[in-house]
Amino acid sequence: MSARTQLVNHVRGAVKSFGARLPKCPARSFHKKAPEHIPEALWPALGPILETIGSLTERIRDYDRQLETISEEHYPETELLRQVEGVGVLTALTFVLTLEDPRRFTKSRAVGAYLGLVPGKDQSGERDPQERISKEGDEMLRKLLVGSAHYILGPFGSDSDLRRHGEKIASRGGKNAKKRAAVAVARKLSVLLHSLWISAEVYEPLRNTQRSRSQAA
């Protein structure tokens, strides 16, 4: 997937440098929607790259289908996690396999620290929200959760408590505001996924927002 992302970004960059722009669309459909917007002069260079992107997309779909089968047959609890938009089969399966038993955590909030999504400690043992995250725990799962957070905050993400939380942090500005927002959403997401796994509840994207409005009323 990272290879496909790099190729998509390369094509977008090449077209932009030529004075044109490509429409926003998910990476999985990029090779189908981009061709009609690419200047004819760039086709000799970008045509083969689009073919490669299409090939990678088909391979990713094949892997996703295999993961779907594994999840359905052996890890049905992943369906609870995939209720959250932006959480795909790979992220859900990796989350379940990494945590193994959700009841080993007495509180859902502990999952964020377990996965290294909390600020590191200074020499005095205090946590500083401005510090980089500790990066403890499973690196692959951490990256997948951050990737899900980018989707939630991106142009295709729907309105939700998670998105609003990230937008609030990003609106504060400052250095690396968007990066901090993505990490904060990833941390909240890890807590939410554990909570859904334990409770087996139906996910409500704006649950906290609606609760706040009810209390205010």
Q: Which helix (H) or strand (E) holds 2?
A: helix 2-17
- Residue 122: pLDDT band (50, 70, 90) is very low
Output DSSP code: residue 21.
Answer: -
Residue 63 has pLDDT above 60, yes or no: yes
Task: Report the C-alpha gap between 93 and 73 in whole angstroms.
Answer: 12
pLDDT at 82: 97
Task: Report the C-alpha gap between 146 and 149 in whole angstroms.
Answer: 5
Residue 58 has pLDDT above 80, yes or no: yes
Task: Report the C-alpha gap between 12 and 53 in whole angstroms.
Answer: 13
Provide long-range contacts, Cβ within 8 A and 24+ apart, for 133-138: 133/183, 137/98, 138/94, 138/98
- Residue 132: pLDDT band (50, 70, 90) is low
- Residue 216: pLDDT band (50, 70, 90) is low
Output DSSP code: residue 136.
Answer: -
Burial 3-28 (b: 16+ CB within 10 A, else e): ebeebbeebeebbeeeeeebeeeebe
The answer to whether residues 152 and 160 touch, using CB atoms and an 8 Å cutoff, is yes
- The type of residue at 207 is R
Which tens digits make up the pLDDT trace of 137-157? 789 999 999 999 999 999 989
Which tens digits make up the pLDDT trace of 15-24? 999 999 999 8
Task: Report the C-alpha gap between 207 and 196 in whole angstroms.
Answer: 13
